[in-house]
Amino acid sequence: MKTSNQFYLLFLLTAALFICNSTNAQKKPNIIYILADDLGYGDLSCYGQQKINTPNLDKLAIQGMQFMQHYSGAPVCAPSRSCLMSGQHSGHTSIRGNAQEKGMEEGQSPMSGNTITIPELLKKAGYKTGAFGKWGLGYIGSEGDANNKGFDEFFGYNCQAVAHRYYPDHLWHNRDKVMLDGNDWKHTVTYAADVIQNKALHFLEENKDEPFFMYYPSTLPHAELIVPDDEILKEQKIKFGKETPFEGKKNAVGFDYGENLEIREYTTQKYPHATFAAMVIRLDKHVGEIMAKIKELGIEKNTIIIFSSDNGPHKEGGGDPEFFNSNGILRGIKRDVYEGGIREPMIVKWPAKVKPGSKTENVSAFWDVMPTLAAIANIKTTNASDGISFLPTLIGTKQKEHDFLYWEFHEKNGSQAVRMGNWKGVRVNIGSNANASIELYDLSMDPSEEKNIAQSNPEIVAKISKIMKKQHVENDRFKFDYEIKKEGVNNENKQ
């Protein structure tokens, strides 16, 4: 009898420990953040796309919440990702352009070593961290490389210039170069996006028993336009029929894989529409595989999935945002601070927390992701963050709103933008004139930014002008032309 009682007590103790551990695990949900590359606001079926079907992302939206007024950090890759990782807008974050690091064959200017990132915060809360895809925030071994910014594991492209190519000869696993079978810049054998996908799925399998943060900055559907000639592409070729090929710049060489390949260019493409569609569908397929994997591993109920894109749709390499209506009703594309260049889809699925099939008009931006994830993990952020947690929106409670959102961009002769309530102020060509006039739009009446009403609203323009001046903190590596002229310096990083 005594043995039986001891066994029973042991059973109860084991059961209690199991329940306790399960409860603790529930307090730290797994987090998967998927970032598409150059996917426009209107490129998903659930955001109005008519020519491309995205069933897995549509399913994610049905199971979660769609954000209808979410913004990226900037209208191009590196500064947008810097805003995401740092929780700072583009007037504060350390990376504000796609500048190649001087003297480096591969890799961009590094994010400041003093910058605290999302993975660094989550590691303090016991999270295993992994990044799979395109980094672009510091060359290998720099203070800004992925391993130095909080990721236990990184696999993919360190350099966004190399990431123009989907059949590179190598990728990086942490700081080790991994050669890809059959790829030598002449032959297209191993599709890098699929290799990265397999590594990401393996990370999920390896870390299913502990809280993890997986950052998945996919290269799809960024140019170049190229995919394996599989069933996905074959179906799209039939669907789109005869096309006008993309042939690159007239009389230029280096586009196609071969002896004269220039890595920074984009391959020619006989079927640009079909190929772009196939790339979006492949991205959707990858998302579906991630969803299926967490279900297979039994961790679906305790895993948050967030999906978004880094900036608006591109025209490079044969991209055709007008044909696909990739920016919906919004004005502008990649490299514009108008809505089409920075407003992005965002979908969040969190079982038992986020209402399935819901939509929100909460105005949010990339710099809000850090405080949101910190709140979910029950850790404090630094005072340097410009963000506001949108956790209340996710769980249906009262949400604090931004007084304003701010952007600056250092290409196309410089531009700034401010969203203040429904007002949107845009200033372009500030590289030539720091006091260039501000365009003003009422997004509640004019989401396409067609009617400039600055002259009839001088008091609003004055407020936005003050915000622009205050929020632009000068940065030694990324300067507007008027700052360069004022200081008489040579801006080596200007593109």
Q: 357-385 pLDDT, tens per residue?
A: 999 999 999 999 999 999 999 998 766 89
Q: 146 and 278 share a domain?
A: yes
pLDDT for residue 103: 86
Q: 398 and 420 share a domain?
A: no
Q: 351 and 425 share a domain?
A: no
> Residue 86 belongs to what domain range?
29-402
Q: 398 and 417 share a domain?
A: no
pLDDT for residue 488: 57
pLDDT for residue 9: 46
Confidence of residue 495 (pLDDT cuts 50, 70, 90): very low
pLDDT for residue 212: 98
Q: 414 and 386 share a domain?
A: no
pLDDT for residue 383: 67
Domain edge (last residue) among 346, 375, 402:
402
Would 467 be classed as within a structural domain? yes
Q: 103-125 pLDDT, tens per residue?
A: 888 999 999 999 999 999 999 99
Would 20 be classed as within a structural domain? no
Query: To the nearest whole percent, how much of the chain has pLDDT over 70?
Result: 92
Q: 471 and 456 share a domain?
A: yes
Domain edge (last residue) among 402, 434, 454:
402
Q: 388 and 447 share a domain?
A: no
Confidence of residue 253 (pLDDT cuts 50, 70, 90): confident
Structural domains counted in the chain: 2
Region of 18 (left: φ > 0; alpha: ψ -120 to 50; beta: rest) is: alpha
Would 15 be classed as within a structural domain? no
Residue 185, pLDDT > 70, answer yes
Q: What is the CATH number of the domain that holds 73?
A: 3.40.720.10
pLDDT for residue 12: 46
Would 222 be classed as within a structural domain? yes
Q: 362 and 476 share a domain?
A: no
Q: 373 and 417 share a domain?
A: no
What does the pLDDT average to over 144-164?
A: 97
pLDDT for residue 24: 43
Would 2 be classed as within a structural domain? no
Confidence of residue 486 (pLDDT cuts 50, 70, 90): low
Residue 137, pLDDT > 70, answer yes
Which has more confidence, 13 or 283? 283
Q: What is the CATH number of the domain that holds 482?
A: 3.30.1120.10
Residue 148 has a CB neighbour count (10 Å cut-off) of 19
Would 247 be classed as within a structural domain? yes
Q: 329-360 pLDDT, tens per residue?
A: 999 999 999 999 999 999 999 999 999 999 99
Q: 352 and 422 share a domain?
A: no
Q: 324 and 473 share a domain?
A: no
Whole-number mean pLDDT of the chain? 92
pLDDT for residue 73: 98
Domain edge (last residue) among 349, 378, 402:
402
CB 166 within 8 A of CB 180: no
pLDDT for residue 482: 79
Would 284 be classed as within a structural domain? yes
Q: 90 and 121 share a domain?
A: yes
Q: How far apart are CA 7 and CA 10, in angstroms?
A: 5
Would 24 be classed as within a structural domain? no
- Write down the pTM of the prediction: 0.93
Q: 1-38 pLDDT, tens per residue?
A: 444 555 444 444 444 444 444 444 456 999 999 999 99
